[in-house]
Amino acid sequence: MTDKEPLAFTRHNHSHCVSDALQAAVAICTERGARLTAIRQQVLELIWQSHKPLGAYALLDQLAEKSTKPVAPPTVYRALDFLLEQKLIHRIAAINAFIGCPHPDHNHASHFFLCDDCGRAEEIHSKSVSNSIKKAATEAGFAVQSQSLEVFGLCPDCRTQDGHDS
Amino acid sequence: MTDKEPLAFTRHNHSHCVSDALQAAVAICTERGARLTAIRQQVLELIWQSHKPLGAYALLDQLAEKSTKPVAPPTVYRALDFLLEQKLIHRIAAINAFIGCPHPDHNHASHFFLCDDCGRAEEIHSKSVSNSIKKAATEAGFAVQSQSLEVFGLCPDCRTQDGHDS
DNA sequence: ACAAAGATAGTTATATTATAACATATTCGT
DNA sequence: ACGAATATGTTATAATATAACTATCTTTGT
Ligand SMILES: [Zn+2]
Ligand SMILES: [Zn+2]
Ligand SMILES: [Zn+2]
Ligand SMILES: [Zn+2]
């Protein structure tokens, strides 16, 4: 896959998302000399299983299922810390959950649309949004270090289909 | 006080902020038939003691100090729930903390600058930011219900004073 | 190959944030 | 005053996250 359009809310072949993400992760970590260990890659894969942000304990449960040994919280949180540091995932603070980043190679803020109905999240990459925030900060004399925009509502699918599956 | 300019990061007579906020809260609750009880008002006052967002348990501790009886978490969380419902306060999800709203009468999204150094928070009211988000949502076919923007960095004071007090 | 240093993972315990469930008290409309 | 609705008190627990220590694995210099 080449240029990526937002597609969390669009019907698509999701296996491409997963393979792209894993490939990119391997490439990035190799280049940076960061170690994408088995656990870290496993957590990244679990996060990428869908476009719905997943909580740490949901990941923990899924890891535990696949493992013979018990899995403790630090195992998951350390993997998440690594993936966050490498910017391979984003944290959605409002729901204490984590989602894969489709553009890990390209530095950017954490801007999301989050569907209240189906739970899916889509990254926003709007120059207009970014620039207006940058401009507001400049005018306020504020030196931005990081930012997160979490927009909740109904995705195109869920707003038209009156019914719900949640 | 009449038209309010952002002032969390500016030297100002903070007692005006507090009295304005309490006055507005009383007026709004009266108009809505909502009951701003003693506890709720106390929590609102504690939140307004500064422009630094406060966590639930910090509020709990302060309430406990002023009270003879023990204070339990639900007491604080219920008051916070009420204040959030009435939009008298905002929640800053990234730091699990709460901050007073200087414009509770006027419906608006939760957009903040948050200083990593001094801890203060200032509400952003930028048409440009709001409009760009609205536009991005429309283009994506996304129906916005709520939103939060949390921009972290250094406020004008802290970016110039090289030294830190944190 | 080997040992030392550093990084990763296992393990146990605990901190922090938030809510459930039920009992009691207060307020409000009649 | 009465009953219904709302608010508070109380106890317990859920959900999220980290601290601290041990053991293992990986890298690096010799
Ligand atoms: Zn996909
Ligand atoms: Zn991203
Ligand atoms: Zn003030
Ligand atoms: Zn506000």
Query: Which of A88-102, A108-122, B132-146, B150-164 is least confident?
Result: B150-164
Average confidence (pLDDT) over B146-164: 89
Could you give the CA distance from residue A128 to residue B135 in angstroms, rounded to a whole number? 9
Could you give the CA distance from residue A55 to residue A50 in angstroms, rounded to a whole number? 13
CATH topology of domain A14-161: Arc Repressor Mutant, subunit A (1.10.10)
* pLDDT per position as a tens digit, A100-148: 999 999 989 999 999 999 999 999 999 999 999 999 999 999 999 999 9
pLDDT of A2 above 70: no
State whether residue B131 is helix, strand or coil.
helix
Q: In this complex, is the C-beta atom of B112 within 8 Å of any C-beta atom belonging to chain A?
A: no
* Domain spans, chain B: 14-161
Average confidence (pLDDT) over B49-64: 98
Determine whether the annotation assigns residue A17 to a binding site.
no
- Residues B21-32 as b/e (b if ≥16 CB within 10 A, e otherwise) read bbebbeebbeee
Chain B CB contacts of A153 below 8 Å: 137, 142-146
CB A110 within 8 A of CB A148: yes
State whether residue B112 is helix, strand or coil.
strand
In this structure, the number of other CB atoms found within 10 A of the CB of residue A61 comes to 14
A positions 17-76 inside 8 Å of B (CB): none
* pLDDT per position as a tens digit, B85-101: 999 999 999 999 999 99
- Which DSSP letter does residue A103 get? -
Residue A158 CA neighbour count, 13 Å, CB half: 22
The residue count of chain B comes to 166
* Nearest in space to A60 (alpha carbons), one of B141, A52, A51, A69: A69
* Nearest in space to A96 (alpha carbons), one of A134, A148, A144: A148
Tokens 């902020």 appear where?
A: B17
